Structure 1
Amino acid sequence: MTADEMTRVLADGNTLPLLGLGVWQVPDGRGCVDAVLWALEAGYRHIDTAQAYRNEASVGKALKESGLARDEVFVTTKFFPRGDDPVRAAEESLRKLGLDQVDLYLVHWPQGGPTWAWPGMERAAELGYARSIGVSNFDEAELASVAEIATRMPVANQVDFSPFSFRRALHDTCEKMNIALEAYSPLGTGRHLTDATVAAIATEAGRTPAQVLLRWAVQRGIPVIPKSVNRERIRQNAQIFDFELPAEAMARLDALDLTGGTGSAREGKWW
């Protein structure tokens, strides 16, 4: 595969790898360090963490232990919107990560309204704390609200996205706004792996169910950030760029959607 087939160019010109490791619910400590190291050894070049995950220090330790040059790994973290200042929060994240800059800084969710944190996000970018800025868990209306006040548009919107959460309207809106929709929970935190349709397509393709679900997204140019702390599954999840799902299989996966093609980012909000 060429680099162009494994990455997506964002609206600001920065390049986002289509495959990343997510570390949500991975406790700070050696287990997190090892998971990131195993991912980097398997060829991942995107690590996705967040202030709310409380494991940025472990991600930073793994990046240092990997020996990879800084510009070889795309690092995402997210502003915890129960705080009051994205700039100060970014400074603390950089201290924990041991970095001078992250590649992508997201508003984790639109608590308190979609726009109040955005000027601070822009300021964090102006100060050089983040190369790119974006949002997460924002629906169509919330993206429109940000667009009305932004001097620098978000380049990404990270949402729950999979064949079972095929948010067509939200994806279409993101594409029209030149915002890359990023898929978190692409495996449904594991519950989608036993679905009969997914399993049948995996058997037909000679692949694992996880590989099928991840391929469904990247075949559309949608970045995915599966989470795992198992070395073999991390390795397997990286093997998604050497095959293609036929149109018929993609259609069968599309039909699994339970959202009605919604423009919403969440069926239930925790904020």
Structure 2
Amino acid sequence: MCVKAVRWALELGYRHIDTAQAYGNEESVGRALKESGVPRDEVFITTKFWPGSRDPVAEAERSLERLGIDFVDLYLIHWPQGGPTWAWPGMEQARANGYTRSIGVSNFDVRELDEVIATAAVAPVVDQVQFSPFEYRRKLLDGAGERAIAVEAYSPLGTGRHLGNRAVQRLAARVGRTPAQVLLRWCVQQNTIVIPKSTHRDRIEENSRIFDFTLSAEDMAELDALDETGATDRALEEKWW
């Protein structure tokens, strides 16, 4: 299913594919990229270092082998297991070796970003976090911006659970869009990089149709008010590591 989903996305014009060592699907992503016929230099590929391992450089090499490519565009620490800084020198080395063009993190709080920056020769360019109107981590978004770090929004649809929210559904009906399109457009207008996930071709296509409309300031404020995090600077309410 992963091969089909990635191939459909590329056929429909997507050019950013997000994977990870922990997902176990890098080989499928590589196969889909090859089968798609889309030139490698037109696709931005992200993978993530699994911190249960100890060597970001060796794991980057293995990721490239599985993906069947010479480099990734972005390599992230998937979460700060064991502390936020120990893996960063290896991430910098992976970049120096040409295994990745850029390096960043995922699931890092603002405090953890500062710890990395304090020791880094190369600062992270991205923090990928759970982000949606219901997880509107405004202090994290602002803090990352102040540090020239882009926020990338994963689970922007709440793995589907946000689509049934009545406030979202009412707003979507009012603007003539689907709940998914409204939630994704909100992320875009918050200046985040948004990465929706689906294995259904029709939904992949639906999720791509968010660049021909704009939510008003009132619409944005209505969605902002759905936040359940208290505008936190934390990446997660409960950590799994």
Q: Same fold (TM over 0.5)?
A: yes
Alignment-derived partner of residue 251 in structure 1: 221
Query: 1 CA distance for matches of 2:217 and 2:14?
Result: 27
Query: 1 CA distance for matches of 2:191 and 2:6?
Result: 23
State how 1:235-250 maps to structure 2 within 5 Å. Answer: 235-250=205-220
Query: 1 CA distance for matches of 2:195 and 2:19?
Result: 10
Shift of 1:220: 2.3
Query: 2 CA distance for matches of 1:37 and 1:202?
Result: 29
Query: 2 CA distance for matches of 1:64 and 1:184?
Result: 25
Alignment-derived partner of residue 110 in structure 1: 80
Runs of at least 4 residues of structure 1 off by over 2 A?
none
Alignment-derived partner of residue 92 in structure 1: 62
Shift of 1:219: 1.6
- Let me know the Cα RMSD of the aligned residues: 0.5
Query: 1 CA distance for matches of 2:150 and 2:41?
Result: 21
Matched residue type, 2:174: E
Aligned pair count reads: 241
Matched residue type, 2:227: D
Listed one character per residue, the Cα deviations across residues 35-58 of structure 1 (whole Å, up to 9, x for unaligned) are 001111111100000000000000
Listed one character per residue, the Cα deviations across residues 75-109 of structure 1 (whole Å, up to 9, x for unaligned) are 00000000000000000000000000000000000
TM-score (norm 1): 0.88
Q: Does 1:131 align with 2:101?
A: yes
Query: 1 CA distance for matches of 2:147 and 2:100?
Result: 21
Query: 1 CA distance for matches of 2:32 and 2:181?
Result: 25
Listed one character per residue, the Cα deviations across residues 108-159 of structure 1 (whole Å, up to 9, x for unaligned) are 0000000000000000000000000000000011001001100000000000
State how 1:53-64 maps to structure 2 within 5 Å. Answer: 53-64=23-34
Alignment-derived partner of residue 125 in structure 2: 155
Listed one character per residue, the Cα deviations across residues 198-237 of structure 1 (whole Å, up to 9, x for unaligned) are 1011101111100000000112221111110000000000
Identity of matched residues, % = 66
Query: 1 CA distance for matches of 2:176 and 2:12?
Result: 20
Query: 2 CA distance for matches of 1:42 and 1:178?
Result: 31
Shift of 1:164: 0.2
Alignment-derived partner of residue 217 in structure 1: 187
State how 1:38-77 maps to structure 2 within 5 Å. Answer: 38-77=8-47
Gaps of 5+ in 1: 1-30
Alignment-derived partner of residue 208 in structure 1: 178
Query: 2 CA distance for matches of 1:158 and 1:58?
Result: 22
Could you say which structure has the greater relative contact order, defined with CA pairs below 8 angstroms and 6 or more residues apart? 1
